[in-house]
Chains A and B, each alone.
Chain A
Amino acid sequence: MVSSTPASATGSPARAGLRGSLVLRIWRRPRGAIGLVLTGVLVVSVLCAPALAPHGPLVLAKDAILVPPSGTFPFGTDELGRDILSRVLYGGRISLFVAFVSVLLAAVTGVVIGLTGGYFGRWWDAVVMRLMDTVLAFPAIILAMGVVSLLGPSSTNAMIAVAIVSIPVFARLTRSGVLAEREREYVEAAHAIGASDLHTIFREILPNTLTPVMVQVSISMGYAVLLEAGLSFLGLGTQPPQPSWGAMLFQASSYLNQAPWYGFFPGLLLTALVLGLNLLSEALQEVLSRTV
């Protein structure tokens, strides 16, 4: 989205070069480097799950039930004899996908709400922002559980629930950006040359309010991964036999005595991914706050 910034009234020609060095500057910070490595390794390995997984995620080995980690089953097997490593890898794909899509949905919806609310003001602003306040009034997981109870448990519905919960923060961020930008001269200039509202909002104001949104996307990702895992843990997200980290941890809690490894690996990967995403977003915030 950022790369499409027009060289119009906003004009920042150094943008492309700046973005190239952004990763480099994140990398130079200790947390940024750890975040990049953790997230990078995990994202690449779950994306390459079909190549890396030694077994299918749904393949049952009847003679290998709750087997401890070994050469054939590096992370051991579960109560149905399925390879935990393979399930962790495939489960990670679903977790990442759900988190990514829901944050994207939330960001797009929230940005549109914030842009139009801040730009048009009056009754529209009042209505949408009160609605956002209302969504924020619910404790996040409680609202997500309410949404899933309405729509029925599935990973798609968990995705919708996570998205709904994450919209208000994007709307508020964008709106406050718009309120500041609206008074700037370039907006006035756009009006003067007869630009439509739509053009002014999306081509002029939007690019200038995107930086905090980008940071918020990175913050929301870690949160979304955790929320999805929480919903799946409660049986309200990804449904069996499809693997998911949350659901695996729930299953594992019944076999702690016989198979402690069962609950160890999904939890470890989940924590590592969330940690990586959080560190990455912190480094991004530091880097961007120095730039602006």
Chain B
Amino acid sequence: MARYVGARVAQAVPVLFLVTVLVFSIIHLTPGDPAYVLLGPNAMPDQVRALRAELGLDRPLPVQYAVWLGHVVRGDLGRSYLNGFPVIGLIDRAWPVTLSLTIGALLVALGLAFPLSLLAVRFRRTWVDHATVTFVSVAYATPTFWIGILLIFALSLRLRWFPPSGYVPLVQNPAQGLRLLVMPSIALGCGVGAVLTRFLRATILETLAQEYVRTARAKGVAEPAVLYRHAARNALIPVVTVLGLQFGTFMGGAVLTEAIFGLPGVGRLLWNSVLARDYAVVQAMVLATTVAFVLINIATDLCYGLLDPRIRYG
């Protein structure tokens, strides 16, 4: 197992290195000198020169990269061009929002996928199965932001069940916080739920064709028990992988979901920084989300190796 972990982590090192190089280049590929961007169009030449020296922009690029990486590793992601706040502080405030949204969306996705896929398999080739497959195709094709708009219109403006947008920290007011998270979680969870339903349905059908299922049937095990105890359980392992792979979808979807529902999360922070051309924050946010994505992918592979010994020894 240790060798497997070591190999998987070693694989990620060159990728992470290249990610940092690419992200570092963001600031240096931007049109115009960051010092000009910071000081505005009316800056004096010596002001610019002083700021360039202060930011280290007058040093050779490899040196700048090394210095920057040194800061990043120590958790210093730089300061916002706009308001001078340390980026790490901005992320610190934003990530709990995105995390609660992601957990909500995950629950929605699992809550959709398990019952739907089991129903589809149980009533294979009936209208229930066809309806599930149709629903999955439509849900997968529907953009997050349109689901969001439809939800706000139906559940908030017409039925008045939920407030249309906003955010309250769960620790501050759990009831209101949860109410505000329901619609965003549905909007973000639908697409992943669709992917998961399709995947689970196919995997369960596949396991149903296995020898051990035939043995169970031959022993006289009732059909529902065959389905739940024998087939569905073995289909669970790959779910981990699918969910891990969908993390990127969640991150991207979070940007759009947070934009519609006014959630002050990581996605919205990135969006606002891109619109405001606050490159320091954009750079830090792209780096942070990508590193998180790479780490989640490693964790997914490791989980998979842990759950299925065939992978580790393969």
Q: Which residues of A contact B141 (CB under 8 A)?
A: 222, 271, 274-275, 278
* Contact of A267 with B290 at beta-carbon distance under 8 Å, contacts A138-B19, A150-B30, A256-B157 already known: no
| 0/1 interface trace, chain B 153-168, chain A, CB 8 Å (1 if under) | 1000100000010000
Interface of chain B residues 127 through 159 with chain A (CB within 8 A) = 137-138, 140-146, 148-150, 152-153, 157
Instruction: Give the CA-CA distance A226 to B157 in the complex, in Å.
Output: 26
Shortest distance in angstroms between A43's beta carbon and chain B's nearest beta carbon? Answer: 16
Q: Which residues of A contact B260 (CB under 8 A)?
A: 253
- B275 located at the interface, meaning its Cβ lies under 8 Å from any Cβ of chain A in the complex: yes
Q: Is the CB of A139 within 8 A of B282?
A: no
Q: Is the CB of A137 within 8 A of B251?
A: no
In the complex, the chain B residue whose C-beta lies closest to that of A133 is B15
Interface of chain A residues 211 through 244 with chain B (CB within 8 A) = 222, 226, 229-230, 233-236
Tally of A-B Cβ pairs under 8 angstroms? 135
In the complex, the chain A residue whose C-beta lies closest to that of B276 is A149
- A279 located at the interface, meaning its Cβ lies under 8 Å from any Cβ of chain B in the complex: yes
Q: Which residues of B contact A236 (CB under 8 A)?
A: 274-275
* Contact of A271 with B142 at beta-carbon distance under 8 Å, contacts A138-B293, A142-B289 already known: yes
Q: Which residues of B contact A148 (CB under 8 A)?
A: 274
Q: Which residues of A contact B277 (CB under 8 A)?
A: 149
Shortest distance in angstroms between B106's beta carbon and chain A's nearest beta carbon? Answer: 16
Interface of chain A residues 125 through 146 with chain B (CB within 8 A) = 130-131, 133-134, 137-143, 145-146
Shortest distance in angstroms between A283's beta carbon and chain B's nearest beta carbon? Answer: 12
Number of interface residues of B (CB under 8 A): 50
* Contact of A138 with B290 at beta-carbon distance under 8 Å, contacts A130-B14, A222-B141 already known: yes
Q: Is the CB of A253 within 8 A of B149?
A: yes
- B61 located at the interface, meaning its Cβ lies under 8 Å from any Cβ of chain A in the complex: no
- B57 located at the interface, meaning its Cβ lies under 8 Å from any Cβ of chain A in the complex: no
- B259 located at the interface, meaning its Cβ lies under 8 Å from any Cβ of chain A in the complex: yes
Instruction: Give the CA-CA distance A68 to B143 in the complex, in Å.
Output: 24
Interface of chain A residues 188 through 226 with chain B (CB within 8 A) = 222, 226
Q: Which of A130, A256, A267, A270 contacts B18 (CB 8 A)?
A: A130
In the complex, the chain A residue whose C-beta lies closest to that of B292 is A139
Q: Which residues of A contact B294 (CB under 8 A)?
A: 137
Q: Is the CB of B256 within 8 A of A142?
A: no
Interface residue ranges, A against B (CB under 8 Å): 31, 130-131, 133-134, 137-143, 145-146, 148-150, 152, 222, 226, 229-230, 233-236, 246, 249-250, 252-253, 256-257, 260, 263, 267, 270-271, 274-275, 278-279
The 7 A-B pairs with the shortest beta carbon distances in the complex, nearest first, are A141-B252, A267-B146, A275-B141, A139-B248, A134-B18, A274-B141, A139-B251
